[in-house]
Amino acid sequence: MYAASSAKFVDYSDALLRFPPPRLETATFTRNPGGWNITLRWTFDNPGRLPMRLVSFQFEFWVDNRSDSREPLDGAKLGTEYTRILSFYLDRYTGPVVPAGGSKSLDWWVDETDPGNAGKITSAMDPTDGSVYIVVADGVLVFYVAEINERHQGFMPPLYRRT
Amino acid sequence: MGLREKLQSTGLFLLWSVLCGVIVAAFFVSAFFADFGPIQVGDPGTVILFMPLFAAFILGLLLVDFELVHTVLAALLATGVAIGLVLGFMFGPAIVGVEVGPPPYQGAFSAILLFPLILLGTVVGRAIGERILPPQAILDRQKALMAETREWHEQLARVERPVPPGQDRKP
């Protein structure tokens, strides 16, 4: 009983120590008749020995307008670009579980039909190869380790990606 | 007592005391850090009062062949082992090198209460054990005393046998 408790506590600490921020696996921008369909796939890796229960994840992404020479994370510049806040909120009994030593991928998608917003995406697109550069920031992940009643919050570093 | 018996007796003393400490620590950790325990043992207050008393009572029963001072030493040893194991649990991640913050302190200072409870349980257990399971040495002593008493009775009976009339009492 003592050994099991100690081992679980060590595994718990190890899981928290090694749990990496989620990674953006793919970001796909597809034209549709009304505008754009955007799909973002996030992967949550769990190298620990205990499963993780994700209860919420929120992030904001911007489509970088590269014709503007300011830094991609410049606040004033971000204010002029196409942006969306995406998230999910569940509880510690229904949230998705990342198995011990495994991964879990989750998709977020947006159908952008507003002509103004769709225009912002189109104009931000690289004219040579059609790629889009996105900025992801303000990512906050809330999770539990196994069934241990302690809520944890992880903040994601900002991300700049070409899709 | 031969060397072999002495070693055996010391080994048993250490074994029972360490086992008592392990049992108390296991219940203490399961009660105060319930999320990590394999079984739910219930209210920490009840566990911290009942388990040390009960485990130490059994320890006292097992140490009935030892002197009272050894019982107190066993209580000290069991408490030391229990507190050591609780600290080992708290600092386990740090020992292994995977700590992410300060160790959890919830209720850990209550471990100091273990000593009086274990001491009480051990002494009471030994006292009751002496009544219901008297040690062999006491049984031997009682037997020898009974034999001696019987012998005295017989001698007295011989001395006090009435002397037939016309005969002198021999010294």
pLDDT > 90? residue A104: yes
Cite the DSSP H helix spans in B33-64: 44-62
Distance (Å) from the C-alpha of residue A129 to the closest C-alpha of chain B?
Answer: 45
Q: Considering chain A, what is the average pLDDT of its residues?
A: 89
Q: Indicate yes or no: CB of B38 within 8 angstroms of CB of A149.
A: no
| Number of domains chain B is built from | 1
What pLDDT, on the 0 to 100 scale, is given for residue B137? 75
| B150 falls within a domain | no
What pLDDT, on the 0 to 100 scale, is given for residue A10? 92
Q: What's the DSSP call for residue B162?
A: P
Predicted complex ipTM: 0.73
Tell me the CA distances in angstroms from A11 to A102, B60, B87, B155, one per residue in order: 15, 37, 17, 77
Q: Give the whole-angstrom CA distance, residue B60 versus residue B16.
A: 9
| B156 falls within a domain | no
Distance (Å) from the C-alpha of residue B127 to the closest C-alpha of chain A?
Answer: 30
What pLDDT, on the 0 to 100 scale, is given for residue A12? 92
Nearest CA in chain B to A11: B93
Q: Which residues of B touch A51 (CB under 8 A)?
A: none
pLDDT in tens, chain B (171 residues): 678 888 888 899 899 999 999 999 998 888 888 888 888 777 878 888 888 889 999 999 888 888 889 989 999 999 999 999 999 999 999 998 888 888 877 667 777 788 888 999 999 998 898 888 777 777 788 889 999 999 999 888 888 766 666 666 555
pLDDT > 70? residue A133: yes
Characterise B161 by phi-psi region: left (phi > 0), alpha (psi -120 to 50), beta (else). beta
pLDDT tens figures, A75-95: 888 888 889 999 999 988 899
Distance (Å) from the C-alpha of residue A111 to the closest C-alpha of chain B?
Answer: 41
Q: Which residues of B touch A154 (CB under 8 A)?
A: none
Range of the domain at B86: 3-97+104-134
Element containing residue A30 per DSSP (H, E): strand A23-32
| B149 falls within a domain | no
Each domain of chain A, given as residue ranges in start order, spans: 2-162
Q: Which residues of A touch B35 (CB under 8 A)?
A: 147-150
Task: For residue B88, give both structure tokens.
Answer: 């080992």
pLDDT > 90? residue A46: yes
pLDDT band at residue A57, thresholds of 50, 70 and 90? very high
Q: Which residues of B touch A17 (CB under 8 A)?
A: 98-100
Strand, coil or helix: A117: helix
Nearest CA in chain A to B101: A13
Q: Indicate yes or no: CB of A2 within 8 angstroms of CB of B92.
A: no
Q: Which residues of A touch B96 (CB under 8 A)?
A: 10, 14
Q: Indicate yes or no: CB of B93 within 8 angstroms of CB of A9.
A: yes
| B146 falls within a domain | no
A2-162 CATH, one of 1.10.10, 3.10.50, 2.60.40, 1.10.287: 2.60.40
Surface-to-core class of residue B55, CB atoms within 10 Å of its CB (0-12 exposed, 13-18 middle, 19+ buried):
buried
Q: Give the whole-angstrom CA distance, residue B48 versus residue A160.
A: 54
Q: How many CB pairs under 8 A join A and B?
A: 58
What pLDDT, on the 0 to 100 scale, is given for residue B162? 66
Shortest CB distance from A14 goes to which of B26, B37, B98? B98
A16 near B CB under 8 A = yes
pLDDT band at residue A141, thresholds of 50, 70 and 90? very high
Mutate to test the interface with A, among B35, B47, B81 (most CBs of A within 10 A): B35
Task: For residue B33, give both structure tokens.
Answer: 């850090």
